[in-house]
Amino acid sequence: MGGIEGLMAESKERWAKADRRAQGLADNGLGDAVKNYYIRFVPAGVVVLAGIGTIGAVLAFQGSFADWPSYLLFGVMLAGLGLLVGGLVYNSKKVVPAAEYGRVDVTLSLTGEERKQIRRQIAGKAAIIPEQLTVTRGAAVQMRKALATQLLLMPFYPLLFIPQAVRQVQRDEPFGWVFAAFICVLMVGIVFLVGDFRRAGRFLARTVEQSFPRTR
């Protein structure tokens, strides 16, 4: 078999492998898990850990509690480390059980152009291809799971670098503004991650009835 028939056979085989990997994949509440983390655990964790870190620094350096703003940087750093550990724990306890996402990349057998086509469908930049829907939905679930994990860990980085930036700026050192710019880049990155996460969620919600058509 050669020529066009051979290429078509190869394409069908690639999509058949992808379809088998996509079977059973589902988002069972990733949006709620991430939302609860940011609404409940991040604010509470930052306040509590920053307070503990600040008080601990005052006591460790035998300072005055009236000068607590001078020790707040230590509290912010502790909050950042706490969110890193807490994010990893929360991911294993709440995010991992909230999705059936498989162990192998759904699009592993597809070409680069085919993967790009799937990403465009998920992002709403291309029309949905019904024959590819199972694969595209599976890819969206895996994408959303990966983004959810990244979103849990992202708050760690700004909190880690904020003390460095403040300290450098206070000393009028040029690297302070480098740290500040890096923090801004991280915040922009979080915004983009949230956007991709929500677009994948909207795609799954929009196509659920197409995947499971109603019987008449």
Q: Sign of the CA dihedral 7, 21, 139, 210?
A: positive
Residue 164 has pLDDT above 60, yes or no: yes
Residues of the chain with pLDDT > 70: what percent? 89
124 neighbors 195 (Cβ within 8 angstroms) = no
Higher-pLDDT residue of 165 and 201 is 201
172/150: higher pLDDT: 150
pTM of the model: 0.85
CB 196 within 8 A of CB 143: yes
Mean pLDDT of 133-146: 96
Interatomic CA distance for residues 205 and 173, integer angstroms: 50
Per DSSP (E only), the strands in the chain are 26-27, 99-100
What is the pLDDT at residue 73?
85
pLDDT band at 29 (very low <50, low <70, confident <90, very high): very high
What is the pLDDT at residue 23? 94
- Token readout for 13 is 């085989």
